[in-house]
Amino acid sequence: MNELKDYVDLKVDELKLQATKGFSMALARLTAILLLVGVLIIVLALLSVVLIQWLGELTGSLAISSSIVCGVFLLVLVVLFLMRKRLFRDTFVRMFVQVFFDDGKE
């Protein structure tokens, strides 16, 4: 009976270690994704300003160039919204399955 208790305790410890490893890997990936998204937002903002200035010189109006850039961003937003399931949900589900149910190959 004592061996059964030891076995159960070892299995509980193993599950705790696997959960800790999975959560830490998921948190590390999430942090990396957030950092990349933050840098991407800054780059896109700066490129937008440059594009607005350049189109403003071509069109002669900053209002028209701002509208063009805004239209491009709205188009990208619509495409991302229409593809949200495939791009985001399925990707994150796959990532979490790999993190929590990996077979130990690294």
**Tens of pLDDT, residues 54-86:** 999 999 999 999 999 999 999 999 998 998 887
Q: What is the rounded CA–CA span in Å between residue 17 and residue 11?
A: 10
Question: Does 86 map to a domain?
Answer: yes
Say whether pTM exceeds 0.95. Answer: no
Instruction: Examine residue 53 and state whether it is found in any structural domain, yes or no.
Output: yes
Domain region containing 60: 19-100
- Specify if 11 maps to a domain: no
Q: Within 13 Å and on the Cβ side, how many CA atoms surround 91?
A: 9
CA distances from 91 to 10, 18, 22, 28 (A): 33, 22, 17, 16
Give dist(CA 49, CA 66) in Å, integer: 9
Would you say residue 45 lies in a domain?
yes
Instruction: Tell me, yes or no, whether 84 lies in a domain.
Output: yes
Domain count for the chain: 1
Tell me if 4 is assigned to some domain: no
